[in-house]
């Protein structure tokens, strides 16, 4: 069976979803794959690839058609993230943050005017970013030091953010700041910040182990003026927006990890069929066969956990525990599968001439961003113990 014919988990996808997934796969193979190595080496995203993501309609998958989006489902967004991840984790996470975090935040919390302005731009040309993390607030996401002070019809923001995905490419940022430190998390408010706002600047880009073409940047706010009309949701409700948006975003990260694992698995499967030792392909050795079986099973289990969580979200059902499980399992499975792929390649797998070392580097972040492995386990355990 060729790679293009390999269609896992068919029973859970509709014909429309399959057609969409195949279209994204074809696009990723033709337009992204030729540039993956160079982008990784340069640690830079090609602007023409970002433009093509917009042309393909992959940057506004859930946005209503009246805003220029596809009006599709969250599951469709996850399928796109998965297929892009199969080729390049960096392009995948750019699309993921755009759709599962920023777009979803606007859809759920934006005013009609905010949706009209920003979703319309994000469907056509604007990249979005989600700015929550700071040096002192990682897993303790609400220990924020970025301050917002109201002055007339605007807020003035001072402080900085760290590790912000899409920092270089983004035109609009959802930024979380505290308007009253004495209120703790109840003072946290979400603001819509445009790249052109006075007092806002993108700072240092991190030099990372994996997803290197994805820009991860510091954001600097020095008397940054944000119109009061750019408060997202209600003042003081930023903690609720952050929690609910991240619950959705974790499914997207699970999809990215499934895609990365799929890419590594396919590379390993093809390699063991062609690599000969002791006069025969190594795929004929039982030890190799058992590793392939383990990789394939864990990959499918991860995929089905992600699809299930996405389906629950689309159906308006409780998906929080399922999202945590999907991210927890998929990120661990991706690290294991990509590592086994390197093992099966032997010495070749440790070189940049072959693709599996990059899949392994890209997979590691899955256990860290949008909620660490420990935070996912804490979420699952709390839900179970409260039953």
270/272 Cα distance (integer angstroms):
6
Catalytic residue selected from 5, 62, 370, 384: 370
Nearest partner of 147 among 131, 136, 134, 158, judged by Cα: 158
Nearest partner of 265 among 286, 287, 291, 284, judged by Cα: 291
The answer to whether residues 57 and 76 touch, using CB atoms and an 8 Å cutoff, is no
Contacts of 297 (CB under 8 A, 6+ apart): none
Catalytic residue status for 370: yes
The answer to whether residues 230 and 177 touch, using CB atoms and an 8 Å cutoff, is no
255 class by beta-carbon count within 10 Å (0-12 exposed, 13-18 middle, 19+ buried): buried
Q: Where are the alpha helices (DSSP H) in the chain?
A: 15-27, 36-42, 47-55, 74-87, 89-96, 104-109, 112-114, 120-124, 238-274, 286-314, 320-345, 356-363, 373-385
Nearest partner of 36 among 236, 274, 257, 213, judged by Cα: 213
**First-to-last CA distance in the chain?**
45
27 class by beta-carbon count within 10 Å (0-12 exposed, 13-18 middle, 19+ buried): buried
Q: How many Cα atoms sit within 13 Å of 254 on the Cβ side? A: 31
373/97 Cα distance (integer angstroms):
19
Give the DSSP H or E segment for 227.
Answer: strand 216-227
Q: Is 89 helix (H, G, I), strand (E, B) or coil?
A: helix
Q: Is 1 helix (H, G, I), strand (E, B) or coil?
A: coil
DSSP 334: H
Pairing of strands 188-194, 170-178: antiparallel
Active site residues: 370
């Amino acid at each position: 069976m060729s790679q293009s014919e390999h269609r896992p988990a068919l029973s859970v996808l509709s014909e429309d979803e399959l057609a969409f997934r195949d279209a994204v796969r074809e696009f990723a193979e033709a337009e992204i794959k030729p540039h993956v190595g160079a982008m990784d080496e340069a640690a830079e995203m090609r602007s023409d690839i970002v433009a093509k993501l917009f042309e393909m309609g992959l940057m506004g998958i859930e946005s209503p058609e009246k805003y220029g989006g596809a009006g599709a489902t969250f599951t469709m967004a996850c399928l796109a993230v998965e297929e892009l991840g199969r080729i390049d984790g960096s392009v995948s996470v750019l699309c993921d943050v755009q759709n599962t975090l920023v777009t979803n935040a606007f859809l759920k919390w934006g005013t009609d005017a905010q949706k009209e302005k920003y979703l319309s731009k994000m469907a056509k040309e604007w990249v979005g970013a989600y700015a929550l993390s700071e040096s002192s607030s990682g897993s303790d996401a609400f220990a924020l030091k970025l301050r917002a002070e109201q002055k007339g019809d605007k807020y003035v923001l001072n402080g900085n953010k760290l590790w912000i995905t899409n920092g270089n490419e983004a035109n609009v940022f959802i930024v979380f700041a505290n308007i009253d430190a004495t209120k703790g998390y109840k003072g946290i408010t979400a603001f819509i910040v445009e790249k052109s706002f006075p007092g806002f600047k993108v700072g240092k880009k991190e030099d990372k182990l994996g997803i290197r073409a994805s820009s991860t940047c510091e954001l600097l706010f020095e008397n940054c003026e944000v119109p009061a009309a750019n408060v997202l949701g209600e003042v003081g409700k930023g903690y609720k927006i952050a929690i609910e948006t991240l619950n959705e975003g974790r499914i997207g990260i699970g999809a990215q990890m499934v895609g990365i694992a799929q890419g590594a698995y396919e590379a390993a499967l093809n390699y063991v069929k062609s690599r000969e030792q002791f006069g025969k392909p190594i795929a004929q050795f039982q030890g190799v066969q058992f590793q392939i079986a383990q990789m394939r099973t864990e990959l499918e289990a991860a995929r089905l956990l992600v699809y299930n969580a996405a389906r629950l979200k689309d159906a308006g059902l409780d998906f929080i525990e399922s999202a945590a499980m999907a991210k927890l399992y998929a990120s661990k499975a991706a690290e294991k599968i990509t590592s086994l792929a390197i093992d099966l390649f032997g010495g070749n797998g440790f070189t940049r001439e072959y693709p599996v070392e990059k899949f392994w580097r890209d997979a590691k972040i899955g256990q860290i961003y949008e909620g660490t492995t420990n935070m996912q386990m804490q979420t699952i355990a709390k839900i179970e113990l409260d039953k």
